[in-house]
Amino acid sequence: MSNHKEVNAAAAPLSSLYYHPGCDKYAGLKRSFSWLPGVQLPQANIIRDPAPGETTHDLFRKGFHPLSEGQSLPRQLNFSDQDLSNADLNSVRFNQAIMKGCNLSGSRLSQASLKNCNLENALLSNCDLSNADLSGANLQNATLINCRIQGANFNNADLSGASLEGILFDQSNDLSGCQLTHAKLRDGGFYSADLTQLKLSDSQLQEVVIQECKLSSTLFERAGLRHVLIDNCHDEADKGGFTSFRGTTVEQTTFRNCTFLRADFFSAELSDCLFENIHFIYCLFMTAKLKQSTFGLCRFSEMNNHRDKGCDFFNTVFDDCRIESCDFTGARTSNIVQKNMRRKAVSETKKFPSLQNEEITPVTGS
């Protein structure tokens, strides 16, 4: 049974916003509706508050309906540049509505349907979007600040170029097919979320936490990561695709307790980063630059066939790391620091150039 209730227009409270159902016929046209007796409706007044002294019955007689809980709106209704701030829009169905530049700050949109809506350049600050359906919505260049999004559906939503601050995605959000390219994420993150095929290419992430998430074909290509924590995340490349940090700039970021399978760090620049208890399996670091970073308790496996050719480990510290069947031939190791390095066998692992004359300590066990 649907949660969307039918509403008695004549009984609606005066605090509601009102719309005229005929407006969808003329959506996007700058004209007045002279066919309505005694009232003109230019595009800017597709929805409005009651005028002083105007009753619910007056509005209903003029053809207006309350924009209230459960109301199903006509397709392609145009709310562009409208001020819907602090409105009670719980469970309203805006399917396919045009809401470009709409101000929804402080609005209550719990269980609302915004499926396939055009919310380009919209402002959503301190909104309640819990359990809202934003699947297929166009949120390009939209601004989302401190919104409640538990249970919201972002399936195939386009947030490219959007600005997100204080937004936390979790396992209750469907992010499949979601695009966050060229977006700006700050003071939020992802917790226990499925980031399979999530596109974060060319985005800027600052003060963001990515924790206990599933990675598979997740794209961070050419993104900028600063003061980010990636913790307890696991790359499931064996299920198709691989996580890519290709060309990414990463600064003062911590990677902790993660597994990266076939992850691509080609030409990435990682400076002042901490890698703690990371297992790199057949990963690509070719021409990557790792400056003043630290690898502690990390494990490198099957990184051979010159997959790290041209990699620069300038001022990098390797502390208690295990290297198995890896080939670092051609890597630059200026001022590298190695502590308690372990290798499975000399014949299976190429030594760092700085340790060509040092003894290799075999590692036993798994």
In this model, does residue 255 exceed pLDDT 90?
yes
In this model, does residue 364 exceed pLDDT 70?
no
**pLDDT tens profile 87-108:** 888 888 888 888 999 999 999 9
Mean pLDDT across the chain, nearest whole number? Answer: 78
- Predicted confidence band of residue 325 (pLDDT cuts 50, 70, 90): confident
Give the other-Cβ count within 10 Å of 336's Cβ.
18
- Predicted confidence band of residue 29 (pLDDT cuts 50, 70, 90): very low
* Mean predicted confidence (pLDDT) in 140-163: 98
Which pLDDT does position 97 carry in this prediction? Answer: 85
State CA 62 to chain mean position distance: 44
Q: Say what percent of the chain tops pLDDT 70.
A: 71
pTM, to two decimals: 0.77
